[in-house]
Structure 1
Amino acid sequence: MPVLIGIAILSGCAAGLVDAADGLKVSATPAPQSAHPATLPAAGDDGPRFHDHAPHEWGTRKPWHYAVHGIDVSRYQGEIDWLQVRADSVDFAFIKATEGGDRLDETFKQNWAQAKAAGVPRGAYHFYYFCRSAKEQAQWFIRHVPRDTTALPPVLDMEWNPKSPTCKLRPAPEMVRKEMRVFLDTLEKHYGKRPIIYTAIDFFEHNDLKQFKNHSFWLRSVAGHPQEKYGDHPWLFWQYTGTGSLAGITGDADINAFAGTRAEWQAWLQQQNE
């Protein structure tokens, strides 16, 4: 692993600030960012770590070159056996909590508790809705996702939703970024952890999200390595398939890779718990 990634991931370990309102430690430095390595952190060329119902024909930059893999889940995965998930070598999970300002994923509380009990590091994510204010949505997320010092940073899921039956609004990029900052800043102040931004290439480009230089990114790229789709933009997590298959989950699963080595993953996890 080139030095660039090691420095980027561990750079967030610097001292933080204490917010006077609630006594929480808030990062005084940018969240850890990962950059694309010139040479991938080879974890072996034995082939895919998990089965895929519709595998992509990867080039030289393969997901299984990365050592640390995890999943993201919502009600669409149904009942999950988290002990089986953990036994299948899943290293982390992001769990859908909320959407908009009035929707709670009905499986969140169960998944949140059972993932922790099974020993799977987990974080919660919010699916953004363009017909409610960022302030309302942040308050809704905070209402339902408890503070937990062992949790991964919260995630803001930003993508267009053309299938929404109630909101077809597509705000101007300047307004999108303004509202995102309100949501992100509110969650950071409350949880003491800088949120991660999840997005797809069309939304990323249209709204010029590269301006969020102080936030880590979780990028969707199921038909090529992120470097092929997002250029040299830094990323921390890579969602590389939506058709994965693993123990404990019935049907398709989203699978993701962490950008660093296993040692860097452990260091990053430790940083989140400080």
Structure 2
Amino acid sequence: MGKKKKSIFRFWIEALLLAGLVGLGVYLWWSTREWEPERSEYPVQGVLTGEAEGVIDIAALRTARADFVYLEASRGAAGRDATFGRNLAALAGTGIHHGAVHLYDPCVPAERQAANFVTIVPRDPEMLPPAIALSKLASECGDPVLEAAVESELTTFINQVEGHAGQPVVLKVSPEFEEATRIASRIERNLWLDSDWIEPDYAGRPWTLWTANSQATNPAGGEPLRWVVVQN
């Protein structure tokens, strides 16, 4: 076979291989959009939603068989999710269990964050336990004093939120926050961990909630969903 023919043959082989890899990638990406853990293993499954997903569609939630919804409500001392009020109203009377999430900012005093949360989230014994999302690191604040006071400030915030809600909070801990603080072993609360498609174990103890697919979509309408499961 001449050099020219070999070159053309090699080109087509490489092109076919590339096309196959691209096709495989597209298939895997598409299939993971609707992936959820087996209901036989995790019977209770639901979603986390906020501004990124927009106002919730109750019919779409029922189509997706969501048993519960966590709504992003507040962040830091003044941040508020633009869709929280409408989503909370939409869920009223539907029978779908729901709760609120606060995105904790270690750069801001605990009292100011607690005031933000209790102002926007109603005191309702029917709501699910409040969740505190821990992802921003104190090292990002540029103040060594804040880094040293993370656990103390967080404990203050937890106490105030629990006093408002009347039930223990859930700590939604990112892998990076856990690595930096080891907070899961320092504050004894139920854990909510994040790990797409693979059951998480980075906290060193069992989790209660798991964000199993942060890139999910509703199989009916294609709406974005962050899919969460419960471990009993």
TM range (shorter): 0.7 to 0.9
More helix by percentage: 2
- Residue 60 of structure 2 aligns to a residue whose secondary structure is helix
Query: Which stretches in structure 2 are left out of the alignment for 5+ residues?
Result: 1-27
TM-score by length of 1: 0.66
Q: 2:199 matched to which residue of 1?
A: 225
Aligned to 2:213, which of 217, 220, 241? 241
| 4+ long deviations beyond 6 Å | none
Counterparts of 1:86-125 in structure 2, within 5 Å, are: 86-125=62-101
How many Å apart are 1:67 and its aligned residue? 1.3
Q: Is the 8 A contact 1:134 1:179 kept in 2?
A: yes
How many Å apart are 1:114 and its aligned residue? 1.0
Query: Which stretches in structure 1 are left out of the alignment for 5+ residues?
Result: 1-50, 261-274
Q: Is the 8 A contact 2:63 2:220 kept in 1?
A: no
Aligned to 1:159, which of 135, 152, 171? 135
Residues 145 and 53 of structure 1: CA distance in aligned 2, closer, same or farther (over 3 Å): farther
- Which whole-Å CA distance do the structure 1 matches of 2:94 and 2:58 have between them? 6
Structure with greater Cα Rg: 2
Moved more, 205-214 or 71-80: 205-214
Q: 2:54 matched to which residue of 1?
A: 78
How many Å apart are 1:249 and its aligned residue? 6.8
- Which whole-Å CA distance do the structure 2 matches of 1:241 and 1:190 have between them? 31
Q: Residues 62-87 of structure 1: CA distance to partner in whole angstroms, max 9, x if unpaired? A: 83231111100001101321133124
Q: Is the 8 A contact 2:184 2:191 kept in 1?
A: no
Residues 213 and 103 of structure 1: CA distance in aligned 2, closer, same or farther (over 3 Å): closer
- Which whole-Å CA distance do the structure 1 matches of 2:94 and 2:48 have between them? 16
TM-score by length of 2: 0.77
Aligned to 2:171, which of 163, 180, 197? 197
Counterparts of 1:255-266 in structure 2, within 5 Å, are: 255-260=227-232
- Which whole-Å CA distance do the structure 2 matches of 1:125 and 1:93 have between them? 10
- Residue 77 of structure 1 aligns to a residue whose secondary structure is coil
Which has the bigger relative contact order, CA under 8 A and spacing at least 6?
Answer: 1
Residues 139 and 72 of structure 1: CA distance in aligned 2, closer, same or farther (over 3 Å): same
- Which whole-Å CA distance do the structure 2 matches of 1:248 and 1:125 have between them? 26
Residues 73 and 111 of structure 1: CA distance in aligned 2, closer, same or farther (over 3 Å): same
- Which whole-Å CA distance do the structure 2 matches of 1:52 and 1:152 have between them? 32
Q: 2:225 matched to which residue of 1?
A: 253
Output the aligned Cα RMSD: 2.7
Q: Residues 106-134 of structure 1: CA distance to partner in whole angstroms, max 9, x if unpaired? A: 10011112123322100001011233211
Aligned length: 200
- The percentage of aligned residue pairs carrying the same residue is 26
- Residue 256 of structure 1 aligns to a residue whose secondary structure is strand
Q: 1:63 matched to which residue of 2?
A: 37
Residues 135 and 246 of structure 1: CA distance in aligned 2, closer, same or farther (over 3 Å): same
Aligned amino acid, residue 244 of structure 1: A
